[in-house]
Amino acid sequence: MTDIALALAVHVVAVVLWIGGVGVVATVLMPEIGRSRPPGERFAAFHALEKRFARQSRITTLLAGASGLYMTWRLHAWSWFASVATWWMPAMALIWLIFTLMLFLIEPLFLDRWLGRRAASRPAATFQWFQRLHHVLLGLSLLTIAGAVAGLHGVDLFHW
């Protein structure tokens, strides 16, 4: 197995676990909490369950970022960031950056406390906003994944 093949395997597995987990959170966990818990308990229930996933997400986003950076360097693919045909390359980096900032800086330093305070006064609206945020991030992530897979196989999703 070449170093590129190994990096790609690490990258794909990391993205599957990371974005797959976001999919489970957005489409299974949050809707179930929304149905089964009263508004005042939803954020706390989500936060308690999400802690374990956050650890996995931190590891998988680091692996995805490191393997993606390595492949970009080894393949001399920096120009892909500037080409309209490979729009998914900067999209991947942007999605990675958003999640990385959320997981390592924004959530622990600011967002958790802000959401906790907001959930105390407006629990239903806060949970709904947070659920919507997860759906938007999941949708953008899936579009980017589809674009990258199609693009690497010569298909531009926007120009059939």
Q: What is the pLDDT of residues 44-71, one digit of tens each?
A: 999 888 888 899 999 999 999 999 999 9
For residue 145, what are the CA distances in angstroms to 15, 16, 91, 124, 158?
9, 10, 9, 31, 14
* Residue 158 falls inside a structural domain: no
Q: CA 104, CA 150: separation in Å to the nearest integer?
A: 30
* Residue 129 falls inside a structural domain: yes
In this prediction, the residues of the chain whose per-residue pLDDT falls under 70 are 1, 160
pLDDT at 50: 86
Residue 50: closest CA among 85, 88, 12, 24: 24
* Residue 115 falls inside a structural domain: yes
Q: Which residues pair with 156 in a beta bridge?
A: 159
Cβ count within 10 A of residue 156: 14
pLDDT at 160: 58
Q: 37 and 125 in contact (C-beta within 8 Å)?
A: no
DSSP state of 159: B
Residue 74 sits in which domain range? 3-152
Number of domains in the chain: 1
- Two tokens at 140? 């953008």
- Two tokens at 77? 């693919």
Burial class (CB in 10 A: 0-12, 13-18, 19+), 151: middle
- Two tokens at 46? 């989500």
Which residue has tokens 């010569």? 154
Dihedral angle over CA of 79, 85, 86, 87, nearest 10: 110
Q: Mean of the per-residue pLDDT values for the chain?
A: 94
* Residue 157 falls inside a structural domain: no
* Residue 44 falls inside a structural domain: yes
pLDDT at 9: 97
Q: Which residues pair with 159 in a beta bridge?
A: 156
Q: Is the dihedral of CA 46, 49, 55, 58 positive or negative?
A: negative
* Residue 72 falls inside a structural domain: yes
* Residue 60 falls inside a structural domain: yes
